[in-house]
Structure 1
Amino acid sequence: MAASAHLFERWAATYDQSLIAALADPVHAAVLTAAHHHLPRPRHLLDLGCGTGRLLRRAADRFPTTHLIGMDAAHAMLTVAHRTTRAQGSPALVRARAEQLPFPDASLDLITATLTCRHWHDVRTGLAEITRVLAAGGVFVYADIHPPAPRRRWWRRCEASGWHLLDQTTGMYVIEDRPVPGCGPLLPCRLLVAGHT
Structure 2
Amino acid sequence: MAASAQLFERWAATYDQSLIATLADPVHAAVLTAAHHHLPRPRHLLDLGCGTGRLLHKAADRFPTARLIGMDAAHAMLTVARRTTPSEGSPAMVRARAEQLPFPDASLDLITATLTCRHWRGVRAGLAEITRVLTADGLFVYADVHPPAPRRRWWRRSERGGRHLLGQTTGLQVIEDRPIAGCGPLLPCRLLVTCRS
> Which residue of the partner structure matches residue 23 of structure 1?
23
Root-mean-square deviation (CA, aligned residues, Å) is 1.5
> Which residue of the partner structure matches residue 33 of structure 1?
33
CA distance in 1, matches of 2:175, 2:184: 24
Matches within 5 A, 1:91-102: 91-102=91-102
Larger mean CA deviation between 11-20 and 156-165 belongs to 156-165
CA distance in 1, matches of 2:185, 2:89: 36
Structure 1 runs (4+) greater than 6 angstroms displaced: none
- CA deviation string 1:55-104 (max 9, x = no partner): 00000000000000000000000000001112462100000000000000
> Which residue of the partner structure matches residue 196 of structure 1?
196
Q: Which of 150, 155, 171 is the matching residue for 1:154?
A: 150
- CA deviation string 1:91-144 (max 9, x = no partner): 000000000000000000000000000000000000000000000010000000
Matched, 1:82 2:82: yes
CA distance in 1, matches of 2:115, 2:5: 14
1:3 to 1:66, Cα distance in 2 relative to 1, 3 A: same
Unaligned runs of 5+ in 1: none
Note the C-alpha offset of 1:162.
Answer: 6.3
CA distance in 2, matches of 1:122, 1:73: 14
Q: When the two structures are superposed, what TM-score results if normalisation uses the length of structure 2?
A: 0.94
Q: When the two structures are superposed, what TM-score results if normalisation uses the length of structure 1?
A: 0.94
2:106 partner letter = A
Matches within 5 A, 1:38-57: 38-57=38-57
Larger mean CA deviation between 85-94 and 167-176 belongs to 85-94
> Which residue of the partner structure matches residue 164 of structure 1?
163
**What SS does the aligned partner of 1:64 have?**
coil
Matches within 5 A, 1:102-141: 102-141=102-141
**What SS does the aligned partner of 1:154 have?**
coil
Unaligned runs of 5+ in 2: none
CA distance in 1, matches of 2:40, 2:162: 24
**What SS does the aligned partner of 1:52 have?**
coil
**What SS does the aligned partner of 2:151 have?**
helix
**What SS does the aligned partner of 2:138 have?**
strand
Note the C-alpha offset of 1:187.
Answer: 0.6
| Equivalent pairs, count | 193
Q: Is the 8 A contact 1:172 1:195 kept in 2?
A: yes
